[in-house]
Structure formats: structure tokens, C-alpha cells
Structure 1
Amino acid sequence: MKLSWQWVILAGALALAAGVGLSLNGQADERPLVSALWYEQARPLPEVELKDHSGGVFTNKQFKGRWTLMFLGYTSCPDVCPTTMADLARAYPKLQVHLTKSPLQVVLMSVDPGRDSQQKLADYVGFFNPEFYAITGEHSQLYKLSQSLGLMYVLVDNPNPDGTGEDYLVDHSADIVLINPEGAVEAVFRPEGGVGEIRKVSMNRLMEDYPVITGVQ
């Protein structure tokens, strides 16, 4: 009798494992592979209140009803930021081809509020594409949002403890985050590049993955 119960338990375990395997295989078949980090469950964002380059208030409401490509940067950035902005400006018209019910917006979140004034941000994004947004705010808000996006930044080489001054750099993530029309993080495009190269997101990969993730065929 004891042996039979062992067989029942073993058979049940095997059946459960087989069922899980079928379920996972089914999910894999339904969800295509992409090079981006695509979350199984979109990650919610905290409520924030920032300023945009036009002087308006930017809150989570601006994410609703549209797809958003968002990344960290600052106007004094010597390499990654202008390169990424230029890449996105070239890719933007091609990405717009995939517009459905939810349009696309590109947002630069400046993590250098000490130097990036409203006018400076307006001139910067306007140079690349006047349809792009730039936002910034207090570090307390920027830190909260950047951490929820899975990104990070830190001011370096600044001799002033209070973060003021002009002569410093900002180390920051080079990822581009895709936020869905519900205002949650859907996917993250990771930067590429070897030693001695500028690490940036591949626009070819982003343009391949974007229509797949957003459900455009």
C-alpha cells in the first residue's frame, strides 16, 4: 500500500511538471522573442511631478494613452546623450509608421537640474526634433522615477558638496525604457558597445523589437 501511494505521488508530480512545461511552452509560442528585456508583468511607476521644456508640469498622466521611449541624460553630456538623441531623431519617423491607437513620444529626463534650465532643455531637444520632450525636477523626484525605471545616475567630479557649480560630469544609465499606454514599464532596451566604444542602444534592434512589443504586426 505504501508503494502504491509513492507511485501516485510520483505520477502526480510528473503530470504537474508536464502541465507546467506545456504552459511555459505555450507562453513562449505566444510571445515572440526580442532582444530587449521584456517584462512578463509591466512594472508600475510612482507618482511624480516634474517640469517639461516648455515650462509645463509633467506628471504620470503624460504617459497615459501613448507609448513612451524614455532615457536619462543631460545637455552637457559629451557623448552618449547627443548620440542617442541623434539616433532616435533618425529612427523616429520609421517608428511612427507603427502608430496604432496609441502614438509614440520620446522623452529625455535630464538628471542635471542644476545646469539644465527650461530654455536650455528646449533648445537641446528642439535641435534634434521639436516633437521630443525634455523633463527635469528635484533630485528627490528624479531618483524616485529613475530607480523605478531600473536606471541610475550619479554626479561625479563635483567639488561642491551641495551639487552646485558648472564643472562636473553625470554618470548615468544608457538604457532606453519603453513605457506602455497604461503608464507602466513594458521593456528596456540595453546599450551595446565594447571597450573604448560609446555604449548605446542599437537602433536597428530597437526598431525590430518595437513593433513586436507594442503588438503591431
Structure 2
Amino acid sequence: MLTVFRSWPVLAGLLLLAACAEPRQELPVNTRLGGDFTLTDHHGQPFRLADQQGRVVLMFFGYTHCPDICPATLARVSQVYRNLREAGDADAVQPLFITFDPSRDTPAHLSEYVPWFKANVIGLTGSEAEIRAVAEQYGVVYLQSGDGAAEYDFTHSDYVYLLDQQGRVRKLYPSDFNIDEVTDDVQSLL
């Protein structure tokens, strides 16, 4: 009986810890950002976000000639995808890369670029007006700098967007996001 009595403090401590642990909060829906759009994929075919119904989407805006942030961010998104593939969840997830630079990031160029990330990324482009409209829907800011000829770059916001199976924005991550956090958040929506 004495052994059982000594277990009560341990049991009480465990119950207290369990009671103090916060349950995982459902990711809120961002009602100010997002919406359906149509662009051109890296195969030259029309792509509608609405066609991704039932899949969780990780979406990033950038450009292929970016010297640092864009490829590093896509590499991080790719690692999330590989983690999901190892867990058997990758079929329910679609990474998207939307370019700011349609003059250089043609479907042909995107079709050479996105496979490097080995994450089933769909590269998207369109006219400058189409891309600008999608960027505005998602609160993305970008500004071309340079001489406007062959040598130019973009200054831009660098968030990764998590969209649920209905295409609603559920969370934004900075480009240096925690890979495990994003993996967990994606899985919480599956």
C-alpha cells in the first residue's frame, strides 16, 4: 500500500502537466487574403487554384533569377514535401511557385527550374497584369529594380502561404520558417 501511496504524487504531477499542456489550436482562416485565380503552369497549360480542391497548398511568390531567398525558400518547401512524402501524406499536398518575372520565367524556363527541387512543385506564370492581380489578392508586394533590360532583380515579400483543401489561407510563414512547424501545420489540415 505504501508503494501505491507514493505513486500518487507522480500521478498528480503527470495529470497537472497534461492539464497545463495547450491543445493544438485549429489554424484560423484568413478572410482578408486569397481567392481563386488562373495562371499558366510550367507545361504551358491553364492552372486554376480551384482545381486543387481537396489538396493542401504551399504557395510561394518569387522569381527564378533570384540569387538567394527564392531558391532557399523553395528548398525549405521541398524539405517539407519530402517529410510529408515519408509520412505518406504528400499526395494530398501541392507546392506552387508563382513568378513575378514572366518575361524571363516562361513556361519553358519554369519547366527546367522547378524539377530541381524534387517536390512536385508547379511553376506558374502569366501576363504581368495576371500576376499583379494574384499578388494583390494575397497581399504580396514586389518591386522591380535595375535598368529594366536584361539585368534586373525584384525586391519582394517572401511569405509562404498555407492554403487548406478549400483554397483558404490558413497561415503565412517567413522564408526562414521552421520546417517541422510547417510539416505539422500541413498535417493538421489533412
* TMscore range, shorter length: 0.7 to 0.9
Q: Which residue of 2 aligns with 1:182?
A: 166
Corresponding residue for residue 24 of structure 1: none
**Number of matched pairs:** 168
Is 1:63 aligned with 2:47? no
Alignment-mate amino acid for residue 56 of structure 1: Q
1:130: Cα distance to partner? 5.9
Distance 2:44 2:73 in 1: 24
C-alpha RMSD of matched pairs (Å): 2.4
Q: Structure 1 counterpart of 2:99, which letter?
A: S
SS at the partner of 2:28? strand
Matched, 1:32 2:3: no
- Give the letter for the 2:153 counterpart: L
Q: Is the 8 A contact 1:43 1:186 kept in 2?
A: no
* Cα shift at 1:141: 1.6
Please tell me whether residue 99 in structure 1 is matched to residue 92 in structure 2.
no
State the Cα distance separating 1:46 from its structure 2 match. Answer: 4.0
Deviation of the 1:137 alpha carbon: 0.8
Paired with 1:139 and 1:39, the residues of 2 have a C-alpha distance of: 31
CA deviation after TM superposition for structure 1 residue 84, in Å: 1.4
Residue 51 of structure 1 and its aligned partner are, at CA, apart by 0.6
Give 1:173's match in structure 2, choosing from 157, 162, 171.
157
| Alpha-carbon contact 1:66-1:104 (below 8 Å) kept | yes
> Partners of 1:40 and 1:46 in 2: how far apart?
12
Q: Given the alignment, which residue of 177, 180, 184 partners 1:201?
A: 177
- Counterpart check, 1:72 vs 2:48: no
Partner of 2:10: none
CA distance in 2, matches of 1:185, 1:105: 14
Q: 1:59 to 1:136 in 2, by over 3 A?
A: same
DSSP-derived class of the 1:39 partner? coil
Residues 122-146 of structure 1: CA deviation (Å, up to 9, x unaligned): 1110111262100011122212212
Deviation at 1:42, TM superposition (A): 4.6
> Can you give the 5+ residue segments of structure 2 that lack an aligned partner in the other structure?
1-21
